Chains A and B, each alone.
Chain A
């Protein structure tokens, strides 16, 4: 089994650099989790052969953070909690490491333990002043008196409870591009050719569990500058048909496209893909969304009162206008 080693990186003076720091850490290390804004935990277990000793890794990471403009401090410990506490007590630009987390925490004041202020007060009334005194309490008694949350903090104080680093996947650019030897002059041919690119994008979205919220299409043209098209996809989807339909409508809005020699399609904004109800016995039940999207498009083109759904209000009415009601498909 791998020995647990956690590197904590803490930046206190520049919280606005959080996202840039996260990207920097993602580029340097395999498993990076976010503890708080400006506080990161990196699981270094098993990486020594590949990346070098943890202290060396920490110095490299601090150097990268400096390039971003952040003055960070690093702590190396067996558990994320100890590593973070250590990093918070280390001057910026320096690295400190401890092997025995419990011994390191023992002398620190009780405020370090992450519990409710009321519990802090109660522990002080019991005469406890340091983390070590709190850690020496019997585990069962702490659980019985204060409950599971304080029992968890008690385990942290003993340096035993290793919170897993919840690593988030680094954001990847989801894009695809194609270049064609013969320029495409027809809109229909272009849509057909874009189908391949959209399929690739759809597969990438499916792989990461995302749905596209925004599309950016760049068309390289033979005798003119690149044509850039932006589309917002609502509702967000990763269905190739829906993405292609959105692009098709964008292309149809342009009177002249010119001779297209290549394209680059990118998804700059995504959100987590949501499930949807599919009619179990209806083979095309899932296509209803497509139909509604078409109705929305036609309403935008044709105006109010053009895309309707009928309902029979009274099948025995004498006047035909009272027999049925018409409602907009898209309100």
Chain B
């Protein structure tokens, strides 16, 4: 320890409980049932991935997380290699567009942009929406070089992808469509569930296509309690 302190300074070492005490300050809570499924919310200095089929609701929740990060007083970076970011949808999700920097980078620029944003100490949340490779998106593994910048960063990294990466070992939450909602033979929305693949607990949401609003239905455990 003395050698590490002599080399890197007295702040290089800290006891674990010190970090735990400050954990509450680092959490970006979305104030939805998603927080209970992912353990309180997105945490600064930690990566997380939303994975699921197209148009299931990943970006809706990512926008909600962005708005929550901004509500805590920080800025957010949105890495958008497919140039598909929709400002209107973001505004509807209460995202402050003045405090959101959108970076359109592909290839090696993708990891560069993510790493620079994570290291800058200027952002609370960095979202990387890689899109679906079948529709012009990039490979989720392209951001692997940026992962080393997450630890110690004041920002949380949220990766939104169509499928899991082969080189990307980060906590992944799977989005599954539960049911389509139809009225008068027309589809007016859908519900989806979010959770880790190996656990049974899921957060349930409903999207209505008329307003594009996201309704929080609670967790599956909550619904089971209500049913009983």
Closest approach, in angstroms, between the C-beta of A272 and any C-beta of chain B? Answer: 24
Closest approach, in angstroms, between the C-beta of A179 and any C-beta of chain B? Answer: 10
Set of chain A residues within 8 Å of B88, measured between Cβ atoms: 312, 315, 320, 323-324
CB contact list, B150-164 vs A, under 8 A: 154
Q: Assess the A323–B87 pair: CB atoms within 8 A.
A: yes
Q: Assess the B100–A309 pair: CB atoms within 8 A.
A: yes
Closest approach, in angstroms, between the C-beta of A135 and any C-beta of chain B? Answer: 63
A308-319 toward B: CB 8 Å interface, digit per residue (1/0)?
Answer: 111110010000
CB contact list, A260-305 vs B, under 8 A: 279, 281-285, 287-295, 297-298, 301-302, 305
Leading 6 A-B pairs by shortest Cβ distance: A291-B122, A290-B122, A282-B73, A196-B9, A310-B87, A294-B120
A143 within 8 A of B: no
B213 within 8 A of A: no
Taking a contact as CB atoms closer than 8 A, the residue among A285, A293, A329 that contacts B120 in the complex is: A293
Once the chains are docked, how many angstroms separate the CA of A294 from the CA of B11? Answer: 25
Q: Assess the B9–A312 pair: CB atoms within 8 A.
A: no
B48 within 8 A of A: no
Q: Known contacts A287-B121, A290-B121: does B148 contact A310 (CB below 8 Å)?
A: no
Set of chain B residues within 8 Å of A308, measured between Cβ atoms: 101-104
Taking a contact as CB atoms closer than 8 A, the residue among A199, A281, A282, A306 that contacts B103 in the complex is: A306
Closest approach, in angstroms, between the C-beta of A278 and any C-beta of chain B? Answer: 11
Q: Assess the B9–A291 pair: CB atoms within 8 A.
A: no
Mark A residues whose CB is within 8 Å of B.
180-182, 188, 192-193, 195-196, 199, 241, 245, 248, 279, 281-285, 287-295, 297-298, 301-302, 305-312, 315, 320, 323-324, 326, 329
Once the chains are docked, how many angstroms separate the CA of A193 from the CA of B5? Answer: 10
Q: Known contacts A291-B122, A310-B97: does B87 contact A284 (CB below 8 Å)?
A: no
**Which residue on chain A has the smallest CB distance to residue B148?**
A188
Q: Assess the A181–B102 pair: CB atoms within 8 A.
A: no
CB contact list, B97-112 vs A, under 8 A: 97-105, 109, 112
Set of chain A residues within 8 Å of B137, measured between Cβ atoms: none
Closest approach, in angstroms, between the C-beta of B85 and any C-beta of chain A? Answer: 7
Q: Known contacts A284-B124, A288-B75, A290-B122: does B116 contact A298 (CB below 8 Å)?
A: yes
Once the chains are docked, how many angstroms separate the CA of A305 from the CA of B123? Answer: 20
* B side interface size, CB within 8 A: 38
Once the chains are docked, how many angstroms separate the CA of A281 from the CA of B91? Answer: 22
Closest approach, in angstroms, between the C-beta of A243 and any C-beta of chain B? Answer: 12
A-B contact pairs, 22 of them (CB 8 A): A188-B148, A245-B120, A283-B73, A283-B74, A284-B72, A285-B73, A287-B154, A291-B77, A291-B122, A291-B123, A294-B123, A295-B101, A298-B116, A301-B112, A301-B116, A302-B112, A306-B109, A309-B98, A310-B100, A315-B91, A324-B87, A329-B101
B61-103 toward A: CB 8 Å interface, digit per residue (1/0)?
Answer: 0000000000011110100000001111011000001111111
**Which residue on chain A has the smallest CB distance to residue B5?**
A196
Once the chains are docked, how many angstroms separate the CA of A102 from the CA of B208? Answer: 93
Q: Assess the A287–B97 pair: CB atoms within 8 A.
A: no
**Which residue on chain B has the smallest CB distance to residue A303?**
B109
Q: Assess the B7–A193 pair: CB atoms within 8 A.
A: yes
Q: Assess the A293–B102 pair: CB atoms within 8 A.
A: no
* Most central of B12, B73, B105 by chain A CB within 10 Å: B73
Q: Assess the B7–A181 pair: CB atoms within 8 A.
A: yes
Once the chains are docked, how many angstroms separate the CA of A323 from the CA of B121? Answer: 32
**Which residue on chain A has the smallest CB distance to residue B79?**
A298
Taking a contact as CB atoms closer than 8 A, the residue among B9, B90, B154 that contacts A195 in the complex is: B9
Once the chains are docked, how many angstroms separate the CA of A269 from the CA of B9? Answer: 26
Q: Known contacts A284-B74, A284-B124, A291-B122: does B102 contact A309 (CB below 8 Å)?
A: yes
Closest approach, in angstroms, between the C-beta of A50 and any C-beta of chain B? Answer: 38
Closest approach, in angstroms, between the C-beta of A261 and any C-beta of chain B? Answer: 12
Set of chain A residues within 8 Å of B123, measured between Cβ atoms: 287, 291, 294
Taking a contact as CB atoms closer than 8 A, the residue among B73, B86, B91, B112 that contacts A284 in the complex is: B73
Set of chain B residues within 8 Å of A297, measured between Cβ atoms: 116
Once the chains are docked, how many angstroms separate the CA of A281 from the CA of B72? Answer: 10
Once the chains are docked, how many angstroms separate the CA of A312 from the CA of B116? Answer: 27
